[in-house]
């Protein structure tokens, strides 16, 4: 049994949607990398009240 | 319930490439390169990920201002031969989409640059976007024949933003890189205006060629080129210059001065006889001129990491 046949609109927009998806994925990866660098290589410190909790 | 199969669709759906074209990729490549040089010429080391983010967000900010420029200028873009194939005048992208994209990317780039580097760099990027999109595009471009001179400042900010992203502060060297692009822009665009004869006339943009005539434009090109040469060669004796930069600047500026001199000596009859060969040659040289000057600054920065470079 097949579902509704794919509309040609979907085909036309497929490339655009894949492109947007890849860009968003790359953006997420970049932000993760930036966060890692900020936390490990700069003078990042937890707020004082959170430091007390973790210690 | 809405059935998608019954939804009428337009004949053309904008593709990613159409939205990318709104960001003026060629201008963006200049922004990326000069911001990259500004970042690396700064006397501090920058983490590669932070540097990559800084360049990316400066580029996105530059692209966003390009999209806002295309949104506002769609009417004159449709008139000019050089720009009528752009996404909005050709109907591939709706003006509202360009506005939305420009505003969204402006906000995103400024916010992310602030988070990745520092607030001063983010503030500079915001100022640059507003300067280009509002001050130049919406106000001065259609008002004064000095539009190119003032608009050139917007394109000159990226190396300063790159420097500030790395150091967190301004310095003379950053402003020298700014001045290099600022002084280079008018002769570059006036040469273009000389051989793109009717475009600006048709669009009623008050370019110098239209308001003051072609002989005055030729004179302006020569004056700006002389001032630019003094500045470009003088930069060799600052912290971002050195022997290598000096050699590159000397050759390029002699060639550029010679080109400006030849343009000044010509009149319209001579120019039309060879289809503006000198003007076209000068325009092409101007592209290499800026690229190689910033390449030389980058070269000096690279040499310094090996204990070489400078004087």
Task: Place B1 in a pLDDT band, splitting at 50, 70 and 90.
Answer: very low
State how far the Cα of B208 lies from the Cα of B211, in Å rounded to an integer. Answer: 5
Mark yes or no for CB contact B4/A9 under 8 Å.
yes
Look at the block and give the residue holding tokens 């400006």. Answer: B260
Nearest-CB residue to A30 (from B4, B5, B53): B53
State how far the Cα of B159 lies from the Cα of B169, in Å rounded to an integer. Answer: 13
The CATH T-level fold of domain B18-169 is Tetracycline Repressor; domain 2 (1.10.357)
Nearest-CB residue to A15 (from B9, B15, B47): B15
DSSP output for B149-177? HHHHHHHHSHHHHHHHHHHSS--HHHHHH
Domain ranges of chain A: 21-54
The values of phi and psi at residue B187, to 5°, are: -60, -35
Q: Please tell me if residue B78 touches chain A, with a CB cutoff of 8 Å.
A: no
Look at the block and give the residue holding tokens 């692009």. Answer: B181
The two structure tokens encoding residue B89: 């005048």
Cα torsion at B59, B60, B66, B68 (round to 10°)?
-150
Q: What are the angstrom distances between the C-alpha of B226 and each of B105, B131, B172, B213?
A: 38, 27, 21, 21
Arithmetic mean of pLDDT, B217-225: 95
Count of positions (residues) in chain B: 311
Mark yes or no for CB contact A41/B53 under 8 Å.
no
Question: Mean pLDDT in each 10-residue stretch from start to end of chain A (55 residues)?
Answer: 70 84 95 93 71 60
Burial of residue B46 (number of CB atoms within 10 Å: 0-12, 13-18, 19+): middle
Q: How far is CA B144 from the centre of its chain?
A: 19
Cα torsion at B157, B159, B163, B165 (round to 10°)?
70
Longest dimension (CA), chain B: 75
The pLDDT score that the predictor gives to residue B221 is 96
Mark yes or no for CB contact B56/A30 under 8 Å.
yes
Question: What is the pLDDT of chain B when averaged over all its residues?
Answer: 91
The pLDDT score that the predictor gives to residue B148 is 83
Q: Please tell me if residue B2 touches chain A, with a CB cutoff of 8 Å.
A: no
The two structure tokens encoding residue B80: 């000019």
Q: Is the confidence at residue B2, as pLDDT, over 60?
A: no
The two structure tokens encoding residue A43: 């003078």
The pLDDT score that the predictor gives to residue B6 is 46
Residues of A in contact with B9 (CB under 8 A): 8-9, 12
């Amino acid at each position: 049994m097949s579902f509704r046949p794919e509309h040609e609109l979907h085909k036309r927009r497929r490339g655009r949607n894949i492109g947007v998806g890849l860009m968003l994925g790359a953006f997420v990866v970049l932000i993760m990398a930036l966060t890692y660098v900020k936390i490990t290589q700069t003078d990042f410190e937890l707020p004082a009240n959170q430091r007390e909790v973790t210690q | 319930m809405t059935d998608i199969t019954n939804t009428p669709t337009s004949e053309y759906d904008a593709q990613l490439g159409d939205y990318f074209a709104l960001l003026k990729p060629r201008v963006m490549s200049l922004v990326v390169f000069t911001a990259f040089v500004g970042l690396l010429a700064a006397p501090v080391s920058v983490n590669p990920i932070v540097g990559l983010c800084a360049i990316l967000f400066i580029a996105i900010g530059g692209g966003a201002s390009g999209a806002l420029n295309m949104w506002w200028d769609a009417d004159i873009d449709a008139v000019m031969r050089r720009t009528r194939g752009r996404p909005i005048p050709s109907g591939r992208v709706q003006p509202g989409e360009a506005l939305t994209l420009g505003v969204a990317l402006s906000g995103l780039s400024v916010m992310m640059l602030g988070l990745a580097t520092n607030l001063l760099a983010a503030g500079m990027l915001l100022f640059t976007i507003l300067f280009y999109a509002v001050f130049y595009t919406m106000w001065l471009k259609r008002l004064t024949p000095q539009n190119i001179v003032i608009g050139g400042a917007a394109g000159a900010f990226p190396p300063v933003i790159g420097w500030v992203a790395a150091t967190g502060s301004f310095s003379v060297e950053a402003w020298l890189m700014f001045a290099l692009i600022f002084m280079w822009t008018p002769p570059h665009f006036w040469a273009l205006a000389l051989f793109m004869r009717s475009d600006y006339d048709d669009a009623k943009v008050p370019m110098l060629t239209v308001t003051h005539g072609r002989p005055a434009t030729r004179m302006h090109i020569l004056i700006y080129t002389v001032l630019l040469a003094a500045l470009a060669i003088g930069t060799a004796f600052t912290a971002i210059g050195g022997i290598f930069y000096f050699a590159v600047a000397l050759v390029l500026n002699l060639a550029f001065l010679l080109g400006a001199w030849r343009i000044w000596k010509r009149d319209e009859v001579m120019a039309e006889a060879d289809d503006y060969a000198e003007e076209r040659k000068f325009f092409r040289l101007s592209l290499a001129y800026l690229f190689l000057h910033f390449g030389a600054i980058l070269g000096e920065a690279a040499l310094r990491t090996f204990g070489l470079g400078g004087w």
